[in-house]
Structure 1
């Protein structure tokens, strides 16, 4: 009777049945022995029909815990003889994608790994770090390999560091679906070439990409021009404003050497005025009132003007105002902001394109923050393959349910 209860709980159906159960209280393990009915024939994906059993192997699968006890399925697994004479193993439907686990156990590991470092998952489920990582890497590879990019027309591309020193990986995402579709080592033009090859391997073509959002990296610009020939490049507003904010801070540091009143104003100048506490807002307003005499106040005003221009949606208006802004800055005495004006002039069309496309890398920047947090929690990762697996898990956009119905 208790065997039938376990059959029902496990979803074991004919020709499989639970042959017996062994409980070891000392080792805190439960082993469920599974067999198949004599005379059974089994299907195999490489040959049509049902095939006779040639011999068997006993395989052991880690399953979900039974209360606080580790649970294993010990299965007498058939090897069948195919019509051409080959003998192949036929694993049961509940066998996982990695040898030695059930689909349910792998689904649990995947769910935990999207919330916790691999080491913490390993402690929770009682397996080694390497086995947990192997499960996650296997599912990521299967899901990425099965991805269909035939409808992808807009990409967001960004870089992130994955190790101390100059160790970077480049990440590409479907800008409309906001899901990561590609990751590779490096941040040079060759990464875009590898991205183009990846598109070709997944029912897409480089020519179908009509829009790409990138930072102002010369390598990315060259890579897109060479390998995504129909893509219109967009430099989103936020990257431009980051450069302008850096110029404001540089101006403050230079002017502070002769004007001690600027000390303590760094964050008031860098943050949005509406988000400042009342005391900092008053200090900022006092500085802005001296816009004609303090270069830091002038730099702040230029940045705010730039922000307002890039908020507009009429491309001809933006083009005219942005060109005039650059002219005004170049005539000023705010040297750090002149560097921003030169940058804008050198990337003018891509910055103006933001007015129409409104395509941004913001969600990739947020993903990068989660990625760096995960890396710190895990006390760092050293291998690119591991970082790629972690990145796709954090993004949480892969369809694991197509591989494992329990991983929906």
Structure 2
């Protein structure tokens, strides 16, 4: 359906540059503009686009309240496209409105950029940082979250010091000095950059990543060693080899039949029993709210780990001890990256719905729009 529009004679016209009324017309060009469909019919408007001879700005387009300059869709169509893109992919929105996917992406990008604007970084005290996979081949991006207001402040490609430095430059020295604590995994680049820019901030290491590291470096290594030791006993070796997730999962999350199997395994293998019990005791460090008690618990745990006689466990103690200050900081700042991990799961959904993103800027705007915060 084609509708041909004509300018109203004698109507007052305004310059799109200075909003001043202008009577003189410099030239006119016929433009084809897409509008909202009428039932199942696509609607196209033929609009004579006027350039006014503004004495202040020179030749400028006439201001139209329903049409942005240099855009081939009406504002109301753009608003509906952006609303649909909030819940579905660009491809599906393009099919629904009968537009090219590049046009739909440009509409949604402009809408997000205009509505979100630059992030409000005033009053930020508590941060959480984590990485997420952006592409295959170990390509990562970093997300920084305001832990108090639960909103995404910044997303950037990479996880090195140089790649996360732009966030702290955006934050500025004064606001960096107001940051009191930053929760993260044991990423050296994050740690060094926080200490370089935020002199008053304490680094807080997250329970999830420490326990995951314990599972990889201790439980998996001891389980493999025990399986190799039982090479002559095929049934026992098979039980140990297939027990990885049984040992890594929390006991309270196991079904009844798996709980019985776990108890039988631990009763039959002393090394696995030792590392399993020490895993549960290690988690208790994050339950303390007084640093003195947490320090005593760490000394007790370290003594038992070193006396176990298990080499992977001794190596883990030596590697973990330099990070002890960040673990004990959890007593004063009970933060974790669980909020960021939840955001990372949502990011995976956003990426999956769109079948991936090739434009980082657009992808990062979609992430910020999904987590506007608590106000």
TM-score (norm 1): 0.79
Alignment of 1:9-28 (within 5 A): none
Does residue 231 of the first structure (1) align with residue 231 of the second (2)?
Answer: no
Using a 3 Å threshold, how does the CA distance of structure 1 residues 306 and 140 change in structure 2: closer, same or farther?
A: same
CA distance in 1, matches of 2:373, 2:23: 38
CA distance in 2, matches of 1:74, 1:230: 61
Using a 3 Å threshold, how does the CA distance of structure 1 residues 48 and 115 change in structure 2: closer, same or farther?
A: closer
The superposition leaves residues 110-169 of structure 1 with CA deviations (integer Å, 9 ceiling, x where unpaired) of: 333333332233223222222222223323333454432212222221112222224222
CA distance in 1, matches of 2:42, 2:50: 25
Do 1:154 and 1:211's aligned partners in 2 also have CA atoms closer than 8 Å? yes
Does residue 215 of the first structure (1) align with residue 191 of the second (2)?
Answer: no
CA distance in 1, matches of 2:99, 2:326: 50
Runs of 4+ in 1 over 6 A off after TM superposition: none
TM-score (norm 2): 0.85
Q: Which moved more, 1:74-83 or 1:178-187?
A: 74-83
CA distance in 2, matches of 1:321, 1:306: 9
CA distance in 2, matches of 1:72, 1:345: 68
Match of 1:137 in 2: 109
Match of 1:149 in 2: 121
The superposition leaves residues 228-260 of structure 1 with CA deviations (integer Å, 9 ceiling, x where unpaired) of: 333221112222222223232332222122341
Match of 2:292 in 1: 316
Match of 2:233 in 1: none
Q: Give the secondary structure class of the aligned counterpart of 2:83.
A: helix
CA distance in 2, matches of 1:132, 1:159: 29
CA distance in 1, matches of 2:151, 2:8: 46
Q: Give the secondary structure class of the aligned counterpart of 1:101.
A: coil
Match of 1:342 in 2: 318
1:100 aligned to 72, 96, 101, which one?
72
The superposition leaves residues 357-389 of structure 1 with CA deviations (integer Å, 9 ceiling, x where unpaired) of: 222222222222233344345444445345434
The superposition leaves residues 193-238 of structure 1 with CA deviations (integer Å, 9 ceiling, x where unpaired) of: 20012224xx973223222122111111111112233322111222
Do 2:19 and 2:63's aligned partners in 1 also have CA atoms closer than 8 Å? no
Q: Give the secondary structure class of the aligned counterpart of 1:205.
A: helix
Do 1:61 and 1:73's aligned partners in 2 also have CA atoms closer than 8 Å? yes
Match of 1:402 in 2: none
Match of 2:340 in 1: 364
2:259 aligned to 271, 281, 284, which one?
281
Do 1:269 and 1:300's aligned partners in 2 also have CA atoms closer than 8 Å? yes
Q: What is the count of residue pairs matched by the alignment?
A: 365
Using a 3 Å threshold, how does the CA distance of structure 1 residues 316 and 269 change in structure 2: closer, same or farther?
A: same
Alpha-carbon distance, 1:70 to partner: 1.8
CA distance in 1, matches of 2:62, 2:108: 23
Q: Which moved more, 1:318-327 or 1:94-103?
A: 94-103
The superposition leaves residues 322-355 of structure 1 with CA deviations (integer Å, 9 ceiling, x where unpaired) of: 2331232123223333344234311111111222
Match of 2:8 in 1: 37
CA distance in 2, matches of 1:162, 1:126: 30
Q: Give the secondary structure class of the aligned counterpart of 1:257.
A: helix
Do 2:34 and 2:45's aligned partners in 1 also have CA atoms closer than 8 Å? yes
CA distance in 1, matches of 2:329, 2:256: 37
Alpha-carbon distance, 1:390 to partner: 4.3
2:243 aligned to 239, 256, 265, which one?
265
Ranges in structure 2 where 5+ consecutive residues have no aligned partner = 231-236
Does residue 255 of the first structure (1) align with residue 226 of the second (2)?
Answer: yes
Do 1:94 and 1:102's aligned partners in 2 also have CA atoms closer than 8 Å? yes
Alpha-carbon distance, 1:182 to partner: 1.2
Do 1:185 and 1:191's aligned partners in 2 also have CA atoms closer than 8 Å? yes
The alignment yields a C-alpha RMSD, in angstroms, of 2.9
Q: Which moved more, 1:314-323 or 1:92-101?
A: 92-101
Does residue 295 of the first structure (1) align with residue 271 of the second (2)?
Answer: yes
Does residue 325 of the first structure (1) align with residue 301 of the second (2)?
Answer: yes
Do 1:63 and 1:73's aligned partners in 2 also have CA atoms closer than 8 Å? yes
Using a 3 Å threshold, how does the CA distance of structure 1 residues 42 and 285 change in structure 2: closer, same or farther?
A: farther
Alpha-carbon distance, 1:181 to partner: 1.7
CA distance in 2, matches of 1:108, 1:204: 41
